């Protein structure tokens, strides 16, 4: 099956059985899932490591997102279709896709994963790019649609060098917007390569942005959190600030956007495929780890110094 050997009806997957640090995550041998109606199953070639899941693992979100143990990890993945559920049209075994799993069940960091939303894998993307793409691509399409970002607009992306921020920058540039992105100085050349005007975050941000955008900023998209008062001052209107990272949004009158229906997700993923086919969207990959190095992958993510997505790939079977 696509060159991946596994034991009959079993697979290896990443999960944790209790809250704690990175080393509570383990590779477990568990029953394989199957594609139910409206879903597809893939042999996973690569999958993303989500920063939100690390907060779940640490127990930071247990009051707002209770989970049942063991909890399987992984939200976005790419691979080769090997089962097609009833009612699914346009998909056949052997197709190459990227997409995401049921957000309540997760399970993308595994040898097999069931997807609830997907799109064709762009030929220009490596498996590693595609494996870490779905969440960031959907988020970029969603928040830029909310912002009505259009050609000629000036956008500020706060936290622009991260996995999601770097995709938002590219999609905004493809729509004709002028983008200013905040990041540490060591990431400024990276932002320039994506088409953004870089600046540093922290004290003095308002003045630095005004220097770079004397005509004002139309919309701010916050991917980092922790700076909403300054971001509101930059636009002069809380309604022009959208955050995907700061749970204090309501206290500042700012909209927080998270999640999407599978139907809307497929719309966003299809936009990503189109831009990739046009050569206008790549998925920056910070590092690739096998499942057996999942602890090291999480520790790198927790430094918050990774440019782009951290991706996991299945270990070769003996």
Specify the pLDDT at position 303.
87
Are the CB atoms for 256 and 243 separated by under 8 Å? yes
Residue 8 pLDDT: 61
pLDDT on residue 3 = 46
The DSSP 8-state label assigned to residue 110 in this structure reads B
Mean of pLDDT values over 107-124:
97
**d(Cα 86, Cα 83) in Å, to the nearest integer?**
10
Q: pLDDT of 232-286, one tens digit each?
A: 999 999 999 999 999 899 999 999 998 777 888 889 999 999 999 999 999 999 9
Mean per-residue pLDDT, 44-52: 93
Length in residues, the chain: 318
The two domains 10-133+283-313 and 137-256 share their CATH topology (first three levels equal) = no
Q: Which residues lie below 8 Å from residue 305, measured CB to CB, with a gap of 6+?
A: none
Beta bridge partners of 199: 182
Q: Is-cis flag, bond preceding 70, omega within 30?
A: yes
Write out pLDDT tens, residues 128-145: 999 999 999 999 999 999
The answer, yes or no, to whether residue 161 has pLDDT greater than 50, is yes
| pLDDT value of residue 259 | 76
Q: Write the pLDDT tens digit of every residue in 205-247.
A: 999 999 999 999 999 999 999 999 999 999 999 999 999 999 8
Question: Whole-angstrom Cα distance, residue 315 to residue 82?
Answer: 19
CATH topology of domain 10-133+283-313: Quinone Oxidoreductase; Chain A, domain 1 (3.90.180)
> What average pLDDT is seen over the chain?
94
pLDDT at residue 304 in the model: 79
**pLDDT tens figures, 167-194:** 999 999 999 999 999 999 999 999 999 9
Is pLDDT of 1 > 50?
Answer: no
Q: At what angle do helices 205-212 and 228-235 cross, to 10 degrees?
A: 30
Is residue 290's pLDDT more than 70? yes
Residues 304 and 291: their CA atoms lie apart, in Å, by 20
pTM of the model: 0.93
Q: Cα–Cα distance between 229 and 241 in angstroms, integer?
A: 10
- The answer to whether residue 7 scores a pLDDT higher than 60 is no
Q: How confident is the model at residue 306 (pLDDT cuts 50, 70, 90)?
A: confident
Q: Which pairing describes strands 178-182 and 197-199: parallel, antiparallel, or unpaired?
A: parallel
Which residue has 């993923």 as its token pair?
Answer: 269
CATH architecture of 137-256: 3-Layer(aba) Sandwich (3.40)
Extents of the domains making up the chain: 10-133+283-313, 137-256
Residue 4 has pLDDT above 80, yes or no: no
244, 246, 250, 253 alpha-carbon torsion, rounded to 10°? -80
């Amino acid at each position: 099956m696509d060159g991946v050997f596994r034991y009959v009806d079993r697979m290896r997957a990443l999960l944790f059985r209790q809250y704690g640090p990175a080393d509570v995550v383990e590779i477990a041998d568990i029953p394989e899932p199957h594609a139910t109606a409206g879903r597809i199953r893939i042999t996973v070639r690569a999958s993303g490591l989500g920063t939100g899941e690390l907060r779940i693992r640490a127990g930071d979100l247990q009051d707002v997102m209770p989970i049942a143990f063991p909890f399987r990890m992984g939200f976005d993945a790419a691979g080769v279709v090997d089962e097609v559920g009833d009612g699914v049209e346009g998909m056949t075994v052997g197709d190459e896709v990227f997409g995401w799993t049921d957000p309540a069940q997760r399970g993308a960091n595994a040898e097999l994963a069931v997807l609830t939303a997907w799109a064709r894998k762009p030929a220009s993307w490596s498996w590693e790019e595609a494996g870490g793409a779905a969440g960031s691509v959907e988020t970029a399409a969603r928040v830029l649609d909310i912002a009505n970002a259009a050609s000629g607009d000036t956008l500020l992306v706060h936290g622009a060098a991260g996995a999601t921020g770097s995709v938002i920058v590219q999609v905004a540039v493809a729509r004709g917007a002028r983008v200013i992105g905040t990041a540490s100085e060591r990431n400024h050349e990276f932002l320039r390569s994506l088409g953004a005007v870089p600046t540093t975050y922290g004290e003095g941000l308002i003045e630095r942005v005004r220097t770079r955008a004397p005509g004002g900023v139309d919309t701010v998209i916050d991917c980092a959190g922790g700076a909403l008062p300054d971001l509101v001052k930059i636009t002069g209107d809380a309604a022009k600030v959208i955050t995907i990272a700061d749970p204090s949004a309501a206290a500042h009158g700012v909209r927080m956007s998270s999640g999407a229906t599978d139907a809307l997700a497929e719309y966003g993923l299809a936009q990503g495929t189109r831009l990739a086919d046009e050569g206008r969207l790549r998925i920056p990959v910070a590092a690739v780890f096998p499942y057996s190095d999942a602890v090291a992958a999480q520790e790198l993510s927790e430094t918050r110094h990774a440019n782009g997505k951290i991706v996991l790939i299945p270990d070769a079977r003996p």
